[in-house]
Amino acid sequence: MSKLPEHAATFRFHGALNDFLNKHRKGKTIRFTFQGTPAIKDAMEAMGVPHPEVDVVLANNKLVAFSYLLRPGDAVEVYPVETGKEWPAGYTFEERNPPPHRFILDVHLGTLAKSMRLLGLDTFYQTDLSDNVIARIAAQQQRVVLTRDVGLLKQKSIAWGYWLRSQHTEEQLEEVIRRFRLQDSFSPFERCLACNVPVQEVAKEEVLDELPPKTRLYFHDFFRCPSCSRVYWKGSHYERMQQFVERIKRLKA
């Protein structure tokens, strides 16, 4: 069987997409060789860039979809979501398919999940999910995947996703808020930190037997998770949580 002829195209990745390239390719025009007619999405991901991080792809200065079949001699420019950059109407993936403010996190991001729930953000997280299950839930429930695993973001069924650059929780939270412009989407203290379900106000008498002695004496407003039955009240930690929320609210896009 004869070998298919080898062709070449050039790629240039802009802005934060260079985070996925090795140091010899960052900010440079990359010669990509291929056989047959691969989709441009597959070519990008073969070079390390996951498709959910991409907002605009131009081939020979014309807007193309991820399904565009690469041709010999193509000159490809690839752009991330960039705050402040203006494109013609309908040009960007983000404009055509706005990301929902619902998220699913990989198994290594439990602390970030708790912080997001504290802000009232709909955050699906479990400690025992495989990458395939995360991708399936994200597609079924229309959720944005947050991860430190670039490979997870390359799964075809994932429409929206973000690779967290930092390994520190508060910096990760700031990244997510800025990337998805969440500053006006907070509903603090309205979700269960353990299971994401909205909490409900409950009479003190209904939870009295579950409260520590001092809590019974000094606190009167209580909330219960209808899913896991965890009880919440505005204890000594509440002021610290409020300070955290106010600081996060001041973040600029």
* Segments of the chain scoring below 50 in pLDDT: 1
Give buried/exposed letters for 147-174 (b at 16+ CB in 10 A, else e).
Answer: bbbbebbbbeebbbbbbbeeeebeebbe
* Under 8 Å between Cβ of 214 and 244: no
* Under 8 Å between Cβ of 143 and 102: yes
Triad 146, 150, 155: Cα angle to 5°:
85
* Predicted pLDDT at 4: 61
Smallest CA-to-CA distance from 13 within 68, 55, 69, 63 is with: 55
Smallest CA-to-CA distance from 119 within 200, 77, 71, 173 is with: 173
HSE value, Cβ hemisphere, 13 Å, CA-based, for 168:
3
The CATH code that applies to domain 6-96 is: 3.10.20.30
* Under 8 Å between Cβ of 211 and 189: no
* Predicted pLDDT at 199: 96
* Predicted pLDDT at 96: 93
* Predicted pLDDT at 244: 82
Q: What is the pTM of this model?
A: 0.91
**DSSP-assigned letters across all residues of 143-194:** -EEEES-HHHHT-TT--SEEE---SSHHHHHHHHHHHTT-TT---TT-B-TT
* Predicted pLDDT at 217: 87
Residue 44 to residue 182: CA distance in whole angstroms: 28
Smallest CA-to-CA distance from 70 within 79, 80, 60 is with: 60
* Predicted pLDDT at 158: 97
Q: Domain map of the chain by residue range?
A: 6-96, 102-179, 200-249
* Predicted pLDDT at 118: 92
* Predicted pLDDT at 3: 65
